[in-house]
Amino acid sequence: MSLFYQLKMLKYRPRLWWNSLWIRKDEFHSSLVMDSEAMLEMNREECDEYRAGLCRRRKIAHDREMEKEEKTMIDMINTFGEEND
């Protein structure tokens, strides 16, 4: 990769790194929004890797959110059943 390309991407690297540092519990967290500004500067290979990583992190966050909601629903059902006994 050229030096010019590396310098161009330098302004996006910290943000992209920070957003991928850990997977958030909230699937609607701002770090899981596609960074189109950075993607315009990426080459095709980096863009594909970025999208794959973003999709993976979104899916994990979504699965965690669904598990949390499922647990909440089970607790509500159990509470409702105890009240009616």
The residue extents of the domains of the chain are 12-83
Q: What is the pTM of this model?
A: 0.74
pLDDT (tens digit per residue) in 6-28: 787 888 888 888 888 888 778 88
Quick count: other Cβ atoms within 10 Å of Cβ 29? 14
Q: Residue range 66-79: average pLDDT?
A: 88
Quick count: other Cβ atoms within 10 Å of Cβ 62? 13
pLDDT (tens digit per residue) in 43-62: 999 999 999 999 999 999 99
pLDDT of residue 75: 86
Q: Do 24 and 32 contact (CB within 8 A), yes or no?
A: yes
Dihedral sign for Cα atoms in the order 76, 78, 81, 85: negative
Q: Among all chains, which residue has been given the structure tokens 């590396």?
A: 6
Is residue 85 very low, low, confident or very high in pLDDT (cuts 50, 70, 90)? low
Q: Which token pair is 75?
A: 């607790």
